Amino acid sequence: IGGVTIARNDVVREDDPTNNVPDSIFSKLGVQLHRRDKHPIGIIKNAIYDYFDNNYSKMFDKIEDLSPIVTTKQNFDDVLVPADHVSRSLNDTYYVDSQTVLRCHTSAHQAELLRKGHRRFLVTGDVYRRDSIDSTHYPVFHQMEGFCVFSPEDWKESGMDSTLYAAEDLKKCLEGLASHLFGAVEMRWVDTYFPFTNPSFELEIYFKDDWLEVLGCGVTEQGILKQSGLENNVAWAFGLGLERLAMVLFDIPDIRLFWSDDERFTSQFAEGDFGVKFKPFSKYPPCYKDISFWISESFTENNFCEVVRGIAGDLVEESKVRDEVESKLNVELR
């Protein structure tokens, strides 16, 4: 990642009872789907970059190659996650050892980036969560974190108090982003709780007969700003799930498809194109059969196709004559 190779024994430790990283997760480290411009995750990341570049004249720094292996301090303490919060459990989070985890959100980088002097940034990366199995959950997915610090001049001239100012700015920004990505789409704001923001909100989008949560956000807790000497400032933050957004945008019915290298999936997307709709295909890989047979006036290609239809019905999608050698037809069935 970013020039650093992650070895198996960096994350899988059979001798450490705290370690719960399986090989299936190790195999995803460093894949970085968000850095592939022709992959739906990369396409949507670039579309969000465009929105921020155009509306904020490139004032947001873009960071996308931070290692997903972080300390528990980065992942939890720095963003004020309480000591007894469920997300700290071995049931919810992948632990490398008692002090080290695979980040479960890109919020793990808020504090270090503030400390390094960043004031407006977008951090994108793969995040890891132990979770149930269904079409919208996968133990690895991609998030983009947005963070924006304001100074007293910003809210003073608005006449609003600083928290309200930040909350309004945040919602306006994200509603603008949603319409940049989706045009007209049904969405709603839901009040919620995060340890690192107050007030906190979730944005849900109507997708396939249900409300789908696509991002969490809110006004940053003062405690986080104070750690970086920003006690006179106010900030907002959001964390959005790129898979969820891409599922809605491209009409992709299952989160597992993002990991497919089947060309029936990958060939449907092109760099910079976020207007395409995914065309579903069978979950099973295609199976090709080559068949050769003799033709004569009484047994033609069409006669052969009738035999195939009679036996296989519509399972055979295509029958193609490859060549004809001395009255012998070679056909490929798919």
Which residue, 87 or 268, has its beta carbon nearer to ligand PHE? 87
CA 19 to each of CA 10, 217, 325: distance values in angstroms, whole numbers, following the listed order: 11, 30, 62
Residue 68 is a binding residue for ligand PHE (CB under 6 A): no
Q: Judged by CB, which is closer to ligand PHE: 69, or 174?
A: 174
Count of residues that interact with ligand PHE, criterion CB under 6 A: 12
Q: Residues 111, 170, 225, 237: which binds ligand PHE (CB under 6 A)?
A: 237
| Contact status: 74 vs ligand PHE (CB under 6 A) | no
Options 3-11, 173-181, 211-219, 310-318: segment touching ligand PHE (CB under 6 A)? 211-219
* Stretch of 54-62, 69-77, 223-231, 236-244 lying at the interface with ligand PHE (CB under 6 A): 236-244
Q: How far is CA 113 from CA 63, 128, 160, 231, 250, in A?
A: 10, 20, 28, 16, 32
| Structure tokens, 103 | 């980040």
Distance in angstroms between the alpha carbons of the first and the last residue of the chain? 39
Integer Cα distance of 260 and 24 in angstroms: 14
Site for ligand PHE in 267-286 (CB under 6 A): none
Contact between 197 and ligand PHE by CB under 6 A: the answer reads: yes
Which 3 state secondary structure label does DSSP give 225? helix
Identify the burial level of 87 via C-beta atoms within 10 angstroms of its C-beta, where 0-12 means exposed, 13-18 middle and 19 or more buried.
middle
For position 107 contacting ligand PHE by CB under 6 A, the verdict is yes
The rounded distance, in Å, linking the Cα atoms of 116 and 256 is 36
Ramachandran sector of residue 122 (left: φ over 0; alpha: ψ -120 to 50; beta: rest): beta
Q: Which amino acid would we find at residue 113? A: L
- Phi/psi at 212 (nearest 5 deg)? -115, 125
Which CB atom, from 141 or from 258, has the smaller least distance to ligand PHE?
141
Cα distance between residue 307 and residue 56, in whole Å: 64
Bond before 68 cis per omega within 30 degrees: no
Per CB under 6 A, the segment of 118-126, 133-141, 162-170, 231-239 that binds ligand PHE is 231-239
**Token reading at 315:** 């399972």
Shortest Å, Cβ 94 to ligand PHE: 15
Contact flag: residue 125 with ligand PHE (CB under 6 A)? no
Q: Which stretch binds ligand PHE (CB under 6 A): 50-58, 215-223, 244-252, 284-292?
A: 215-223
To ligand PHE, the closest distance from the beta carbon of 24 in angstroms equals: 22
Asked whether 295 and 301 are in contact (CB, 8 A), the reply is yes
Question: What amino acid occupies position 131?
Answer: D
Confirm or reject binding of residue 203 to ligand PHE (CB under 6 A): no
Closer of 125 and 218 to ligand PHE (Cβ): 218
244: contact with ligand PHE by CB under 6 A: no
Residue 215 CA, distance from chain mean position: 11
Per CB under 6 A, 238 contacts ligand PHE: yes
Q: Which is nearer to ligand PHE, 128 or 194 (CB)?
A: 194
42 binds ligand PHE (CB under 6 A): no
194 binds ligand PHE (CB under 6 A): yes
265 lines the binding site for ligand PHE (CB under 6 A):
no
User: Which residues contact ligand PHE by CB under 6 A?
Assistant: 105, 107, 145, 194, 196-197, 216-218, 237-239
